[in-house]
Structure 1
Amino acid sequence: MLLILMMLHIIPEALIKDGAGFILAFLPLFFIPATVGVMNFPELLSFQGLLLLVAVIISTILTIILSGKLCQYIEENEIRKESI
């Protein structure tokens, strides 16, 4: 919602700049619990963890490729509709 309001220039950047900078300073603290959680499950650092990591990487790459192809398909259809 904030992004939309900023894109429509309803909320100027100056109003949230200081607050956003303050919050970004603490952003790394949100990743510490996830790292500690991994330490509680050493099997994630073993062969099973490696398989899980490979599966996540492959699925991410496939998602990026399929999303790109879908966007190209939709854009081509929109261009065809405009030219007709």
Structure 2
Amino acid sequence: MEKNLVEPVPQFIPQHLICPLTKKMFVDPVKTAYGTVYERKAIEEHLKKNQYDPLAGPGNELEMNDIRADQDMKKRVMDHRSRQIRF
């Protein structure tokens, strides 16, 4: 049985690039009225059942029209990925 000669190196992902709901790096980040950034699909799923910001908690109402694309975060993610590809 042949073994790989090179083990894959785990990649470090800065915490600010990770969605607090999915625990994965952002693909389509959106920001809430409370300033929290989530992955779009994850927060949309949450808002189907709950009308509040998951990290802010109940009492902090949130609706679909309160989320906006976070282009700054998307750029940070793309910059991080491009640096990872180079190495």
TM-score by length of 2: 0.26
More helix by share: 1
Structure with the greater alpha carbon radius of gyration: 1
More strand by share: 2
Larger RCO, structure (CA 8 Å, separation 6 or more): 2
